Every structure is written in structure tokens, then in C-alpha cells.
Structure 1
Amino acid sequence: MSSTNSETNHPIHRTKFAFADADLVIQTADNQRFKVHKSVMSMFSDVFKDMLALDQVNNRKPNDSDSESDSESKVEHVEITERSYTFRFVLRLTYHLPISTLPSLDQLSDIMVMLDKYQMSRLHESVQNFILANLNLEENPLRYYALARSYNLTRVKQAVLPHVDALDLRAYTTNTVVKIPKELLEISFRDYHKLLFFKNQRATRILAFIERARLPTPVYVVRCNSQSARIIHETGGSESTFNPNRCCSWKSYITAAREEVSTANNQDILRPELRVKVAINSKCPNAMRWLLDDCGRIFDEAQKAAKEIPWEYEEEYENVHGVGAQEA
């Protein structure tokens, strides 16, 4: 924010954002003026509140090239370093006006810088509402995550974590062929390590649900080459118990799922493709039907349960990595 009395030779571009009863004119870096209200700016910005309370404004008189009206020349002026698009967006949030043009990620970053610079934390919820309602987080999840982390946009962070989780983050450090995206460079190594930890914690919980699942009663005889995989039907009273390894493909699936979890692979262990792959390599001729049809209920229930499993494990991360992992 500038408080100098220097004149400018640049032409002044008029805007439609002007109130007849305005008592403050704010000029942006690209020489656009906005006629606003001190009371509103003070309400939403602690910086403006303190500045106006101390009367630290730029009371300059416009030059002839400005072509200001007499009424505008009598109100106080402030020059800021932000450009008009950024400030106009912030003003629309402040005055609860509709926003017709969606910002790019670079513009959104500038907007968050301004909100932080002028201590406009009261607008954080409005920004999050706008982002969640209008922007596609899936297009660039890492950058949205970095933005949410930097400015404590909790709801945006929670919304973008599923999209970040779908990325193969480990490949960026283990596969020399994979090019590291510039978006990854916007988050700290600690945050990168956290994302890997979160991914593993969530996958481990999903795997545990699958491992505890009660396998279905087959409607046909499973024919496995392995004798131990055949159905063992023991009648005891009104209930029956079954060998949990009734099909060798189930054990193979669990092994494959554990392997993916242990390597923090980017693939979802509940995806049908993993079961198809296991069935193709299985010794059981009925493995495909067993894993996809008979066990379908297990995976449907797992998908529902997964929706309730958290995406973030901050406390667990701190417990594992100790004091040295605390935020700087």
C-alpha cells in the first residue's frame, strides 16, 4: 500500500465499481479507481481499520489528467499495489456481489495473497464457498492443496485431498522417467511426506475392513486345484461355518492388496481391475465369478465404509514422527 504524495502520469481507467456515497477512493496498480466505503473496508480488513483510524491515507490532490469530479477529489485516496482484477474480486466478496468471471489459479493465488496482506480473514469462508461451488479441484489438485495449506482453507483442503490421493506421488521420487510437476514444488517436503503418510493410513484402514469381511456362502461348488481351498462345510446346530480360503483367489487378492498398500501405490485396492488381474492369474477356474460376483457385496460395503474413513491423519503423523516433525 502506498502512502506517498507522488503524482502519476498514467491515465486513470474508470470502473463501474463506484458508490455515490463513497468516502474512500482506492487506486490499483493498473490505475483503476474504486469508490468504496471506509466502514465496509474497516469491517473486513484489520489493516484498513487501523490505517483509517490513524488517518494514514494518501490525501493527494489529483492532477488535471485525472479528470476527477469535484466530489471525488474531496474524499480520501489510497493507492495499493494489487491489480484491478484482484481487488475487484475481493470487493465483490466484501459487498456480497455476484462474480461472473472465474479466476485462474494464478489469479486466485493473488487474491489469497491480498486477503492475507490486508488481514481480511473474515472473507476466508466466502472464498472457500466460491472455490467449492465454482472451481474444478480435480484439474490441479496439488496446487489447490498447496493453496489451501498456505492459507488454512480447511474445507478446500478436505475437498481436494481425495483428488491428491488419486495421484501416484511416490513415483515422482522413485521413477526417474516421471517428470516432477511444478505444482509439486509448491508444497514443502514435509507436506509431501505427510501426503504419502495419509495415503498409507487410509489404505491400511480400507484393507483392514476387507480382511475382516465375512466371506459369502457360495451358491456353487468352487473348484480350486488346491485341496485346501475347497469348501469345508461343517454343520453344527442351525449354523454352518466355512473355510475362509474356500477359493485360493481370495488369498491372492489379499496378498496383492497388501503389496499395493505397503508400496503406497496410487491405485485403489477396491477397484475391480485388481480383482480381475488376480482372477486371471489364479489357479481356480471360477476365480473371476468368485471375486467379482460372489464377493461383490463385500466390496460394495467396503466402498460405503471408505466414505467414512478420514483422508487426513495429522495427529497420527505427529505421534509417529515426534517433536521434530512439528510445524516450524
Structure 2
Amino acid sequence: MSEVEEIAANADNATYATHSSHLSYNDGDFIIRASDGVEFKVHKIVMSLASQVFRDMLSLDKINTLTATSEIPIPVVDVFESSQVFESILQFIYPVIPPDLSSFDKVIDLLSVADKYMMPSVMRQLEEHLLQKSFEPLDGLRFHALARRFSLSRLEAATMKHVVCLDITVVHPHNIPPEANWLTLQDYNRFKFFADLRLRKCRVLFGEFIEARSSLYDCTCIRRQRRSYLMMRKVEDGPHWDGDDDSSADEDYFDDIECEVWAHFFELCRKALRKNLQANVLEDVSIRYEAKQQYNKCRGINDDFIRDSSAQLKPLKKQMDELPWAYEQEYALARQSKPAEGWKPTREWNYY
């Protein structure tokens, strides 16, 4: 329990004004009056611990010297927020039933108030609420914009993959959430940079997998490519060629030979990832069948590729899952090397 919650819990809850329609305590020593005239009788110590702004206000002599007696009225602070909004804020501060957060607009209002009055504990609770929600692509954009505006680092990290994978240039303007305007053109260009770099890193992993596998397995198409190369050498060098395939040039060529089925499979994976960077391409059996059907002459790989490829691809999938979605340092270096282009969009923008 936080210090705010502990002190609030020790308040005289028995004197809670149950007859009122709003949260108020009979033993409170401080009144917050909302814009609609509703008054909340609360405790100075609780509000001081919950809010830096209220702590500064209450430290002023004009308020701090007043006491709750019959001769001297309880100090009052007027706020611009409605009673409905401010009561929800107090429900986060005091140990009572939490507010209803089913409305996203209400969450935004509460974040604005908590940010205005510098209430970190309320901000954390609201962020935790948003983190527990499931994200659709455009919801991820809304939540990410919210995280950037109110410096919610955990929510920003959790929604990063959604904005990186979203191509906002193909979204109809009527479907773009208003919170998207909180992000700048440079933000969207930054997301595109992250997406392109992550795709390139996936391609590097694909290449490393093929290279490692080709050196361990000698399938039909690899043997055929070697024979074709040796026949070409024989034609080029004529009768003087002794058939020695151990030269460094030959070794370099043989090292570059790849299984055509696997190579085509990863090319299809790359194309699928370009359309959807979150696609689970390594476990998509339809991509394997498409690759095998186009290169069906590699008979030695048929059973191995369709039946056992899932097990072989597990380490690769783990590597892909561990790739980050944000590359801030790389983006900063790219902007330094090309400062004039750091903010420019890399896509053609289509307006409806």
C-alpha cells in the first residue's frame, strides 16, 4: 500500500457522508469545489501526498493557517473540472470503489486532470488499466498517442509494435482516431523506419538460417546446382580442366549454394511480412506448400520440409520474436547522417 493509500485508509471512514451524491468526509479539513458547485470535503494530508500541485497550494500561508473551527470556515479551493470528473480522481486516491473506466474519453479526461495536478499515483493506475486492454490496430494507435502525450512509458512500449505495423497512409481518414493528431509527421516517419529496419533484420536471420542449413544438409537441388556448375567449368576450361573442384573460387561458389525450396519459402515470408509485420509466417503451412510446389524437383526435401520444418524453425522463430520493435539509436544516427531527410515521409500519401 502506498503512503497516500495508507493515510487515506486511516481517515475517519465511519463519517463518510453516505447521504451525499459525491465523495466527502465529515472530518475533512479542506474543501475542493468543482465547476458545477459540488463540494468535496477531503483531507489536506491526503491531497498533499497525492498531488504536487495541491501540496504547493496548501503550503501557502493563506490556506495553511486556516483551521476548521466554528469561527473560521474550512479552506476552499475552486477547480475547473466537473464534480463527475473530480470524484473519479478522488476514487483513485481514497480506498473506495474505483471509478467506471468503460469510456475511453473519460480515461483521457482523467489523465489530463492527473497530469495537470501532478498526481503520479493516479497516472500509474490509469496506465495499468490501459495496459490490461487488448489492442486492435487503430486502438493501438490511440493508446500510443495517449502514452506519448502523457509520458506513459510502459504503455508506449506495449503499443509500439501496433504503430510500427500500421501503415496509416492506407487508412481512410474517417477511420483515423482523433488522438492520431497528437503525433507528428516525424513520428510516423520514425515508425516506418522501425518497420523497415525490423524487416531487414528478419531477412538477415533468414539468410543465416539458410546458410547454416545448406552446410549441414545435402538435398537434391543443392547437388544439382553443384553438378551444373562443374559442367559449366568443364565447358569453359575445355579438355585441360582436371575436374578439381577444390579451388578457392569453387569453394566460395559452393558455400553460396542454397536449397531453392528454403530460399523461396523465405522470400514468400519476406513478402508476407512486408504486408503484415506481425504475421506468423514461420508457422503458416500454406507458405511452405507454395514454396514446395514451385520447386518440386527437390525430392529429398519433400518430407523434411513439410513435416519437420516446424521443429527446425523454432530457434529462428525465437530469434524473430526477440527482435525489438523500436530502434531509437539507429534512427538518431540515420537522422544525423541525413538531417534534411530525417523528417520526410518515405511513402506516397494517398488522400481520399
Same fold (TM over 0.5): yes
Structure 1 stretch 30-39 or stretch 265-274: which is displaced more? 265-274
Number of residues paired by the alignment?
279
Partner of 1:189: 185
Matched, 1:227 2:221: no
**Which digits, 9 at most, give the CA deviation of each residue in 1:242-263, with x for residues without a partner?**
97756412111333344566xx
Structure 1 pair 102–224 and aligned structure 2 pair: CA distance change class (3 A): same
Larger radius of gyration: 2
Deviations 1:59-101 (Å, cap 9, x if unpaired)?
xxxxxxxxxxx98x93222222223343223222223544252
Distance 1:25 1:198, change over 3 A: same
Give the match for residue 37 of structure 1. 43
Aligned to 1:304: 318
Equivalent in the alignment of 1:255:
267
**Is the Cα contact below 8 Å between 2:31 and 2:42 reproduced in 1?**
yes
Relative to 1, partners in 2 of residues 1:145 and 1:289: Cα closer, same or farther, differing over 3 Å? farther
Confirm whether residue 313 of structure 1 aligns to residue 307 of structure 2: no
Q: CA separation of 1:255/1:23 partners in 2, compared to 1, >3 Å: closer, same or farther?
A: same
Calculate the TM-score normalised by the size of structure 2.
0.66
Deviation at 1:148, TM superposition (A): 0.5
For 2:89 and 2:198, the matched residues in 1 are separated by 37
Give ranges in structure 2 of 5+ residues lacking alignment.
1-18, 64-68, 228-253, 344-352
For the Cα contact (< 8 Å) 1:275–1:291, is it kept in 2? Answer: no
In structure 2, what residue type is equivalent to 1:132? L
User: Is 2:265–2:288's contact at 8 Å kept on the other side of the alignment?
Assistant: no
Q: TM-score, normalised by structure 1?
A: 0.71
Alignment of 1:279 onto 2:291: yes
| Cα distance in 1 between the residues matched to 2:82 and 2:306 | 56
Q: Which residue in 1 is equivalent to 2:154?
A: 155
User: Which of 210, 213, 216 is matched with 1:215 structurally?
Assistant: 213
Residues 79, 146 of structure 1: alpha-carbon distance in 2 compared, 3 angstrom cutoff? same
The CA deviation at 1:22 is 0.8
Matches of 1:164 and 1:291 in 2, distance apart?
Answer: 34
1:136 aligned to which of 131, 134, 137: 134
User: 2:142, 2:172 → 1: CA distance?
Assistant: 16
Give, in whole Å, the separation in 2 of the partners of 1:259 and 1:136: 27
SS at match of 1:99: coil
The letter of the residue matching 1:265 is K
Of 267-276 and 15-24, deviating more is 267-276
SS at 1:215's partner residue?
helix
One-letter code aligned to 2:268:
A
Displacement of 1:105 in angstroms is: 1.8
SS at match of 2:27: coil
120 and 212 in structure 1: CA distance in 2 versus 1, 3 angstrom threshold: same
Question: What is the aligned counterpart of 2:21 among 12, 15, 19?
Answer: 15
Deviation at 1:215, TM superposition (A): 2.1
Question: How do 1:108-123 residues align onto structure 2 when only pairs under 5 Å count?
Answer: 108-123=107-122
1:159 to partner: Cα distance: 1.4
Q: 2:346 matched to which residue of 1?
A: none
Following the alignment from structure 2 to structure 1, what is the Cα–Cα distance between the partners of residues 303 and 280? 16
Quote the sequence identity (%): 27
* 1:119–1:282 Cα change, 3 Å: same
